Amino acid sequence: MTTPTDELRGQAEAWLADDPDPASRAELTDLIAGLPGTADELRDRFSGPLTFGTAGLRGRLRAGPNGMNLAVVTRAATGLVNWLAAQGGKGPLVIGYDARHGSREFAEQTARIATGAGRAAMVMPGVFPTPVLAYAVRALDAVAGVMVTASHNPPQDNGYKVYLGRELGGPGGDGAQIVPPADAGIEAAIRAVGDLTAVPLGEPGTPIDERTVQGYVRRAAAVLDPSGPRDLTVAYTPMHGVGGSTFASAFAAAGFPLPAVVAEQAEPDPEFPTVKFPNPEEPGAMDLLLALAAERGADLAIANDPDADRCAVAIEGDEPGSWRPLTGNELGVLLADHLIRRSTPGTYATTIVSSTLLKALCEARDVPYAETLTGFKWIVRGAVDLAYGYEEALGYCVAPGLVRDKDGITAALLVAELAAGLKAAGSSLAGRLDELALEFGVHHTDQLSVRVDDLSEITRAMARIRSNPPAALLGDEVTVTDRAEADVLTLRTGRARVVIRPSGTEPKLKAYLEVVEPVTDGDVAAARSRAAEATAKVLRPEVASALGL
């Protein structure tokens, strides 16, 4: 009689026979030898394959179908190359990679699979930010692009983002991340791949000329007004990632003094030794940067996440020597306001979970506004004439004609331009936020985020609040909007809004909270205090209770 352990052993041995990586084979061999004691670990690894989510493939570095490893990448790359051929797509496949464990090997394997199938492959000449890869897709008229990165995930993760060129992505998707039905088509092509031992491998591709990288830097600097002020002291960290060199080149090209860099985080390091999570949003992640900013008397502190597609900014606090990070919504609206005042034409877009302040600003300035589902793959498709897009998770697209994705380098340049201009006028980013609050009220945002080990916990929480949503929040009647197809629930009152959804990139349930508080008697600080207190003492507990958390 066949037991569950026997079936699990059979699955693992079948995978083992087709795995092209000696290290992964050794890892699985040890786990098989450890049965039945290793059954839970093996069962998790064979619970199902990684699938394309908000950011393509992303998962832990480990052997088996439910992990990032050479076998999974080989299958994914083969499926992608086969799908591109089936669509009749012409042109090269461009490939970039970060400094995480396995990234270079995964990139090289992808290139060999493309060339083995008769398609040209062009590989970035070293580790570079994700926005440079997204730019190269357009600059080199590629059929598609692959970026091997797990962005801001923990050190044990890696990932695989796919971009399409103009031919298959269309004008709005030229150089943008994949969306349905392409993702489903690629997944189907991946499932159709047979034995990996039969996949032909060619040469490791052609290195992309440095002039492409220089072209990105030159055009990034050109986003700014060349005649604007440049007197600005900046503290910066690439957070052990790959943004440092490109950031410095772009700042120099734009005419800014080179920033002071956090020495402990300046060089790429896949272990990310100074942070628990290499994500500027995480508590403590920017501590070294804020200490450097205070030490140097900086005007501005800027952090990129490890693949430099996100940008975090901190400003001096109310107390001398203190610093506070801006929220993604605060920076998002500041950049939008700056571009609008520069008369940048087109539509300004954000997502359903971001602050409602951008909508109010656009309505007041008679500027086109669009709202999309969460994720930059949707934001950049929010309008054909997109001028700017942002999401609250520190993502900003300030130059859609350059990079049709979030770009932490150009966002950093633009906020530096804004800060330098305000400094020259005797003001600051904090002063401009106060002016916006006086005009539109305080839009205080917060987030309730719960990380889980069992994804079914998220499913149960979403089911609970759908079946029994709160009748009131902050004492006001609630209107419920359920976007079931996107698994997003919105609760709205006259002065508050809550958007609840599972994360697309991490095992988290997220609730995005916003309270709008008018400013009375010109006292912005008092309005901020009232909004923050209402959120912390009433709204957060109400939402947590409704979710059963």
**What was the pLDDT predicted at 505?**
67
Assess contact for 319 and 296: CB atoms under 8 A.
no
Mean pLDDT for the stretch of residues 538-544 = 90
pLDDT range class, residue 208, cuts 50, 70, 90: very high
The owner of tokens 């060619």 is 202
Mean pLDDT for the stretch of residues 121-135 = 98
Q: What is the pLDDT of residues 462-488, one digit of tens each?
A: 999 999 999 999 999 999 999 998 899
* φ/ψ of residue 326, rounded to 5: -75, 145
Q: How far apart are the C-alpha atoms of 509 and 126, rounded to whole Å?
A: 36
409 and 451 in a single domain? The answer is: no
Q: Domain end: 417, 437, 457, which one?
A: 437
| Alpha-carbon torsion angle 527, 533, 535, 537, nearest 10 | -160
- Judge whether residue 187 has pLDDT over 70: yes
Q: What is the pLDDT of residues 86-119, one digit of tens each?
A: 999 999 999 999 999 999 999 999 999 999 999 9
Q: Domain end: 208, 241, 268, which one?
A: 208
Q: Domain end: 147, 180, 208, which one?
A: 208
Q: What is the pLDDT of residues 212-231, one digit of tens each?
A: 999 999 999 999 999 999 99
By three-state DSSP, how is residue 82 classified? helix
Domain of 301, in residue numbers: 214-437
**What was the pLDDT predicted at 533?**
95
Print burial letters for 71-97: b (CB count within 10 Å at least 16), e (below 16): bbbbbbbbbbbbbbeebebebbbbbbb
Residue 508 falls in which region: left (phi positive, over 0), alpha (psi -120 to 50) or beta: beta
384 and 400 in a single domain? The answer is: yes
295 and 396 in a single domain? The answer is: yes
- Judge whether residue 455 has pLDDT over 70: yes
The residues near 54 (Cβ < 8 Å, ≥ 6 apart) are: 374, 375, 377, 504, 505
Least confident of 53-57, 136-140, 205-209, 446-450: 53-57
Distance of CA 523 to the CA centre of its chain: 35
**What was the pLDDT predicted at 212?**
96
**What was the pLDDT predicted at 435?**
98
69 and 30 in a single domain? The answer is: no
Using CB atoms within 10 Å of the CB of residue 160, give its burial: 0 to 12 exposed, 13 to 18 middle, 19+ buried.
buried
195 and 224 in a single domain? The answer is: no
Mean pLDDT for the stretch of residues 420-429 = 98
Mean pLDDT for the stretch of residues 300-329 = 95
- Judge whether residue 52 has pLDDT over 90: no
Any catalytic annotation for residue 529? no
358 and 477 in a single domain? The answer is: no
Mean pLDDT for the stretch of residues 448-459 = 84
262 and 308 in a single domain? The answer is: yes
Q: What is the percentage of the chain residues whose pLDDT exceeds 90?
A: 88
Q: How many domains does the chain have?
A: 4
- Judge whether residue 549 has pLDDT over 80: no
- Judge whether residue 1 has pLDDT over 90: no
3-state secondary structure 350-404: EECCCCCHHHHHHHHHCCCEEEECCCHHHHCCCCCCEEEEEECCCEEECCCCCCC
- Judge whether residue 54 has pLDDT over 60: no
417 and 504 in a single domain? The answer is: no
Q: What is the pLDDT of residues 177-186, one digit of tens each?
A: 999 899 999 9
Q: How far apart are the C-alpha atoms of 324 and 313, rounded to whole Å?
A: 9
Assess contact for 175 and 377: CB atoms under 8 A.
no
229 and 266 in a single domain? The answer is: yes
Which one is catalytic: 24, 47, 103, 151?
151
190 and 133 in a single domain? The answer is: yes
